[in-house]
Every structure is written in C-alpha cells, then in structure tokens.
Amino acid sequence: MINMLGQIMLYVNNQDEAVKFWTEKVGFKVISEENNAQGMRWIEIAPTNGVETSIVLHNKELISKMQPELNLGTPSLMFFSKDLDQLYTDLSNKNVTVGEMVTMPSGRVFNFADSENNYFAVMERK
C-alpha cells in the first residue's frame, strides 16, 4: 500500500541554477547531494519547515541518455502555503515570474516559473 508521496523527480538542464532558484528565491533548503562517481548527480531539496515530500533535481540530458524511454517533461506540482499574499510578494520582489492570483472553489492560487520556465502552482486552501 502506498501511504505517502516521498519524492518528486524534476529533470533540469542546469542543476546548479535550479538549486540556486529553489533555495535563494523560493526558500527551500538542500537536504542532500549525491554523486555516484559515474557522473550521476542528484540534489534533494525541500521546504525549510518540513521534509515529508522533497524534490530531487536530476540532470535531464544524462537521464535521457540512460533511459530514453522516460518522459522528462515537468511534472505538474501544486504547493500549499498558509500566507499566499506574502509568498506572492516575496517571489515578485525576487524577480520570479508569477501569474495572477486566482480564486478557486478550494482556495486561492497562483503560478510561478523557475529559472528554466517550468511552471508550478501554489494554493492557500480554504
């Protein structure tokens, strides 16, 4: 039985730039960094207040060579926030591309883009 989502694998073109974006602009922290001595490197990041689910940044080019059958498109991620207005302001002040704030039946939400123009959503649930 699956009882929780542990990690989300995000395939990026530039791992160092991705780490910089997620830590400096979004406020995540690096949980671990691994390198298997054969060129395979991955960096695990997560929000600073909890680590139930983390994001693992993989090198897209290397993974596509190792497993060409994989779909390496960006997963659709929905983050939750308890202070959406403050997060929106913080990301905007850090020159992150943010979409307009939208009110949905389940809560307010907006999108933002990372340094590679992958889009993510953040919701403040009712």
pLDDT in tens, 57-104: 999 999 899 888 888 887 778 899 989 999 999 999 999 999 999 998
Pairing of strands 119-125, 78-80: parallel
Model-wide pTM > 0.75: yes
What the block records as the tokens of 40 is: 């395979």
CB 100 within 8 A of CB 116: no
pLDDT at 20: 97
d(CA 47, CA 28): 4
What percentage of residues in the chain have a pLDDT greater than 90?
Answer: 50
Three-state DSSP class for residue 59: strand
pLDDT at 74: 72
Best CA proximity match to 14, nearest among 120, 115, 119: 115
Whether the CB-CB separation of 79 and 91 falls below 8 Å is answered with no
Contact 22, 29 (CB under 8 A): no
Mean pLDDT score of the chain, rounded to an integer? 89
Phi, psi (rounded to 5 degrees) for 74: -70, 130
